[in-house]
Structure 1
Amino acid sequence: MPESALSVPGFAELDDSSALAYRKAVLLGRFVPEEIAASLGTSIEEARAVEQVLFALSLLRPMPGEPDLLVPVSPDAAATDLVGATESHIRELQQAVSDVRTRMRSLLPAYFESRQQRNQAEAFDVISDVEVLQAMLDEWGERCRSEVLTAQPGGPRTPSAMAKARPHTMQRLERGVRVRHLYQHTVRRDLATTAYVKAVTEAGAEVRTTDELIDRIVIYDREVAFLPEQHVVGRKPGAVVVREPTLVAFVCKVYDHLWSGATQFTADAEDTPEVTDDLKRSIVRLMAQGYKDELVARRLGMSVRTCRRYISQIMLDVEATSRFQAGVNVAQTGLLDHHG
């Protein structure tokens, strides 16, 4: 008799010869290697090899009372035989996961109520474990009902990060959640960011850019705010999770202020003059404060090379041959004046 299902190497390889042999077996009502070989014009060895494949795929089954005689079964029955146990196991695991989440979520009211009673002044959590933090961000992203606000400084993110973020954003938009993103101007020339922006804005998201951002901010439903952990050495920073209503309202006001002064980002559009002027003003202001090129670039989320190209353009615009002369000419032209 052939080996049992799944034990034949490469069992899933149902080639044309196996398909023809299966069809012939269905017509004959049984699989007898000699008859199949004669019918298809193949050797007995080839017919027995096909028998092994069909048996491994559960397309052949011993006839009750005659274990040496194999008869064909329907593909649906074969598929059920092959994957039925796995599907059942998957359903059990999914139910187990759902049960655990339900039980854990049922404890949330007790957790927050007890914390509040324990210390009314304790209005935030510090989450240092990055994996725990990501799990919390995902959880709040699934639970949010009305609005998600994000501010992402530091220039373009990696293509993999943008690809991972896209389905989450699209799911929230499909649920009717308002999504607003704030980036720095320098992301406008990044292909991964523009592709993401094009996809999410077409689905209803709003995206703007500005010259500088204070730090990363993520706000869900104006109820909870995630702010980056500060002064971390030797590990990746986590976040401070703020829930106290007054503090969250303040963070939202800061975000709204940044948003009102930012410029709309349309992925297919060219950079607006306002964006270019914003970058130039920011570069000049940081230079006037004594920052070196490297720090200026880091603050504005651009490469040092790009920063120096802007500096050269500024010097050309104000007809200066040195940075000192550029500073004098800038003051005279009023470039630092937003209304100039």
Structure 2
Amino acid sequence: YRGMSESALSVPGFAELDDGSAMAYRKAVLLGRFVREEIATTLGTDTATVAGIEQVLSALSLLRPMPGEPDLLVAVSPDAAATDLVGATESHIRELQQAVTDVRTQMRSLLPAYFESRQQRNQTEAIDVISDLSVLQAMLDECGERCRTEVLSAQPGGSRPSPLLTNARRKTLERLERGVRIRHLYQHTVRRDLATTAYVRAVTSSGAEVRTTDELIDRIVVYDREVAFLPEQHVVGRRPGAVVVREPTLVAFVCKVYDHLWAGATQFSADAEDTPEVTDDLKRSIVKLMAQGYKDELVARRLGMSVRTCRRYISQIMLDVEAHSRFQAGVNVAQTGLLDQG
């Protein structure tokens, strides 16, 4: 409100012009002047009330003194009154808008120097270890905003928290609108998670591609096949950060690994039921891990599912091979050649 009439702001009822003031203003327009006695008669009130109305209308610039006759007030059009009230504020807003434009123009002029310097720095800093999660998130956001062509991501494990998916959906849709190709790779177990299914439905309808597989090596995020984020390893006592890889040969290797995983994965359509291939793939993966001597807990962790779900799959496998014990199931699986299928 800077620049707006201080008297207008201080008048009681400024924010809402009451019926009495509106009728007095209308009468003043008809008379060509503000005559207190006639307006008091029209409103059926006393002159003290009319004096208060006169003060309100004057503060709102709806009444002005007649040139040469300062004691005679005449009605002014609402457009002229509004201009008088907010003209200075509008001028100030235009000045601020111009100042914002000037700042943005000056900052954009530095972009070539920024990206050229970053490119030179990237050549010398091929690998960075980022342990601070806030710094890591800032770097991920920056790479996402600068991304021009493609984002690759592999997310092992089961379902993710709904707030994370909500935030990811907003960013993913914004990048898709910019024409960025986005591919997500999950494990089969997310197909039964409602939050993930809703996310997949939203992003695939806008052009993203999503597939699932039985096992994933670890989390991978790659931007424009130039910068790869890999999880920090062997961390104790805190949440792991990430290793940022910019060296072209290493990034190309990570992309080849991702493309290999993608080629063997199954398309995830949020509106379709689980395909039999997905179920069979999971069963084969469980059998292979059990044959390697892994316990139920480790099998579940490797496949991104709960131990309860893993044991339910094991029970189904035992029914499929007509076994009453796990030992018998192993024998029957070997005889049926289930491990050799696929």
TM-score where L is the length of structure 2: 0.75
- How big is each residue's C-alpha offset from its partner over 1:219-249, in whole Å with a ceiling of 9 and x where there is no partner? 1111111111112222222211111111111
2:251 corresponds in structure 1 to 248
SS in 1 for 2:338: coil
1:107 corresponds in structure 2 to 114
Amino acid across the alignment from 2:196: T
Amino acid across the alignment from 1:127: I
Q: Is the 8 A contact 2:62 2:78 kept in 1?
A: no
SS in 2 for 1:166: helix
The structure having more radius of gyration, on CA atoms, is 2
Determine whether 1:27 maps to 2:26.
Answer: yes
Q: Is the 8 A contact 2:186 2:213 kept in 1?
A: yes
* CA positional deviation for 1:211: 0.7
SS in 1 for 2:282: helix
SS in 2 for 1:107: helix
SS in 2 for 1:192: helix
User: 1:207 & 1:270 partners in 2: Cα distance?
Assistant: 15
Amino acid across the alignment from 1:288: A
Determine whether 1:183 maps to 2:176.
Answer: no
2:225 corresponds in structure 1 to 222
1:296 corresponds in structure 2 to 299
2:236 corresponds in structure 1 to 233
2:167 maps to which of 164, 167, 182: 164
Cα distance, 1:20–1:279 mapped onto 2, change above 3 Å? farther
Cα distance, 1:112–1:175 mapped onto 2, change above 3 Å? closer
- How big is each residue's C-alpha offset from its partner over 1:171-198, in whole Å with a ceiling of 9 and x where there is no partner? 2222222111111111111111111111
* CA positional deviation for 1:217: 0.8
Matches within 5 A, 1:297-312: 297-312=300-315
User: 2:203 & 2:329 partners in 1: Cα distance?
Assistant: 41
User: 1:80 & 1:318 partners in 2: Cα distance?
Assistant: 84
* CA positional deviation for 1:137: 1.4
1:124 corresponds in structure 2 to 127
User: 2:158 & 2:174 partners in 1: Cα distance?
Assistant: 25
User: 1:88 & 1:189 partners in 2: Cα distance?
Assistant: 55
User: 2:141 & 2:228 partners in 1: Cα distance?
Assistant: 13
* CA positional deviation for 1:88: 6.9
Q: Is the 8 A contact 2:24 2:43 kept in 1?
A: no
Amino acid across the alignment from 2:289: L
Amino acid across the alignment from 2:268: F
Q: Is the 8 A contact 2:148 2:180 kept in 1?
A: yes
* CA positional deviation for 1:60: 3.6
How many corresponding residue pairs? 321
Cα distance, 1:290–1:199 mapped onto 2, change above 3 Å? same
- How big is each residue's C-alpha offset from its partner over 1:70-115, in whole Å with a ceiling of 9 and x where there is no partner? 9996697677888986897688678757866864773342244256
1:322 corresponds in structure 2 to 325
User: 1:277 & 1:176 partners in 2: Cα distance?
Assistant: 36
Aligned-residue sequence identity (percent) comes to 64
User: 1:321 & 1:133 partners in 2: Cα distance?
Assistant: 50
Cα distance, 1:333–1:39 mapped onto 2, change above 3 Å? farther
User: 1:91 & 1:256 partners in 2: Cα distance?
Assistant: 48
Gap runs ≥5 in structure 2:
1-5
TM-score where L is the length of structure 1: 0.76
1:205 corresponds in structure 2 to 208
Q: CA RMSD in A?
A: 4.2
Cα distance, 1:149–1:60 mapped onto 2, change above 3 Å? same
SS in 2 for 1:281: helix
2:288 corresponds in structure 1 to 285
User: 1:302 & 1:232 partners in 2: Cα distance?
Assistant: 23
Q: Is the 8 A contact 1:180 1:206 kept in 2?
A: yes
Amino acid across the alignment from 1:106: A
Cα distance, 1:62–1:24 mapped onto 2, change above 3 Å? closer
* CA positional deviation for 1:167: 2.1
Q: Which moved more, 1:155-164 or 1:265-274?
A: 155-164
- How big is each residue's C-alpha offset from its partner over 1:300-336, in whole Å with a ceiling of 9 and x where there is no partner? 1112221121111111211222222222222222222
